Amino acid sequence: MSIIKIVLTLFFSLFIINNVNAKIQIEKKFKMWESQFIKNGKDKICFAVSIPTKMSPKNLNRAESRIFITFRPNDGVSNEISITNGYPFGKKSKVNVNVGNAQFKFETKGKFAWLTNLDSELKMIKAMKKANKAQVIGSSSRGNKTKDTYSLIGFTDAYNSAKKNCKN
């Protein structure tokens, strides 16, 4: 199954799960990050998640941005990084994420962006554990350029908590 199908399946599944008896629960807050999970029967999905501390341009009407690191043990998925900037991305556009001195290019489809391989995800997680902030730069389907800044204070604790919560 392609990465695009997996990501879309994940978010569609979250939508369905969220509307059928299950809801996202906060396990614990760690400064600017949270460890969250969804449980439906034996299925469990865990996240380390945060919202930006700064969004620009300020006058652009869009939904909230978020960055997720997801663990889905029933699907054999861990360390999956995805981003939503609160708008549909431009077709064939990339999202650039700067973490410390490291740069990462995310693929996009609809309102979501993700890295395409585990090696890149693990490199980004390692960089996030060392840095103070991450900058996410994207372009909407209307051509608006955005720059969201995320604090990484509390990231390592939220990441470790989500990973532990969904350990097989």
Per-residue pLDDT of 86-114, as tens digits, reads 999 999 999 999 999 999 999 999 999 99
Q: What is the pTM of this model?
A: 0.85
Does the bond joining 73 to the residue before it have cis omega, within 30 degrees of 0? no
Give the end-to-end CA distance of the chain in Å, rounded to a whole number: 22
Residue 8 above 90 pLDDT? no
Q: Which residues pair with 106 in a beta bridge?
A: 95
pLDDT at 168 (0 to 100): 55
Q: What is the mean pLDDT of the chain?
A: 88
**Section 14-20 average pLDDT:** 44
Q: Quick one: DSSP state of residue 12?
A: H
Q: How many residues does the chain have?
A: 168
H or E element in which residue 108 lies: strand 102-109
Q: Of all residues in the chain, what percent carry a pLDDT higher than 70?
A: 86
What is the CATH classification number for the domain harbouring 148? 2.60.40.1880
Q: Do residues 12 and 145 make contact, with C-beta atoms less than 8 angstroms apart?
A: no
Q: How confident is the model at residue 136 (pLDDT cuts 50, 70, 90)?
A: very high
Which has the closest alpha carbon to 70: 10, 8, 4, 135? 10
pLDDT at 24 (0 to 100): 85
**3-state class of 158 per DSSP?**
helix
| Cα–Cα distance, 81 to 71 (Å, whole number) | 10
**How many domains, in total, are found in the chain?**
1
- Residue 74 main-chain phi, psi, to 5 deg: -65, -20
Q: How confident is the model at residue 43 (pLDDT cuts 50, 70, 90)?
A: confident
pLDDT at 109 (0 to 100): 94
Determine the structural domain holding residue 36 and report its residue range. Answer: 3-165
